[in-house]
Amino acid sequence: MTPISEAEPALREADLQPTVRLAAEFGGLDAGGRLRLAAERFRGELLATTSFGAQSAVLLHLLATHAPDIPVVCVDTGYFFPETYQYADQLQRELGIKVAFYTSPVTPARMENTEGRLWERGTEGIERYGFLRKVEPLNRALREHGARAWISGLRRSQSSDRGKRSFAERQKATTKLYPILDWSDAMVEDYFERHELPRHPLVDRGFASIGDWHSSRPVEKGASVESTRNNGLRRECGLHLESSDADFQI
């Protein structure tokens, strides 16, 4: 996120105060209360995202239970594991939800033929890949839904960078909300068991973080979960970092 001292006029300290206050309010509520507050505060102007990853069922179940009117979108890179698409269908069916899928206008075949296999080209390639396949589709989803706020299932325990985040943040013109930010892995596991939520099929094969097939791998003994994404070069895919496009709201 942009530091206040370096922010553009629209994001100076006075404008960030509502976000700071909202973060404080979130801190005094449980996850369900945070979602209900978000739905009330940003009535009709927010959406939630899901990746249908290893722990996505938790936020989706919370949304279905406490804020079923908040629209949910999934940014489909075109490179999901087959099991992820199957899991997406299963969760939508069992939770009674409907998720809108957004994809890049640049097809995987076109990208690979014009720019190559970007995920194999170091951090610059990963950044370009994230912009094309993730950032642009999400920015379009936010605009089409008229959303000025975005709910994400980030948790502090997922990575060192995420450990520094607040319950509510500003990313350019968008307020980002993290209703399960303070949940531990044990809390997530307990929620799965109490509500008998289905697991992503790849969890049984050792995957703890599940993204695209070319950039995710099982956790090896002694390795961190962070190291299983993008060959350990980068945990964040670009969605949770400010984009370089001045016209984008994230």
Which residues are designated catalytic? 237
Query: Considering Cα of 12, then 14, then 15, then 19, what sign does the dihedral take?
Result: positive
In the DSSP assignment, the letter for residue 135 is I
Chain centre distance of CA 146: 18
Q: Is residue 189 a contact partner of residue 180, using CB atoms and an 8 Å limit?
A: no
Strand 174-177 relative to strand 46-49, pairing? unpaired
Count of alpha carbons within 13 angstroms of residue 41, beta-carbon side? 21
Question: Treating both helix axes as pointing N-terminal to C-terminal, what angle do 56-66 and 185-194 enclose, rounded to 10 degrees?
Answer: 60
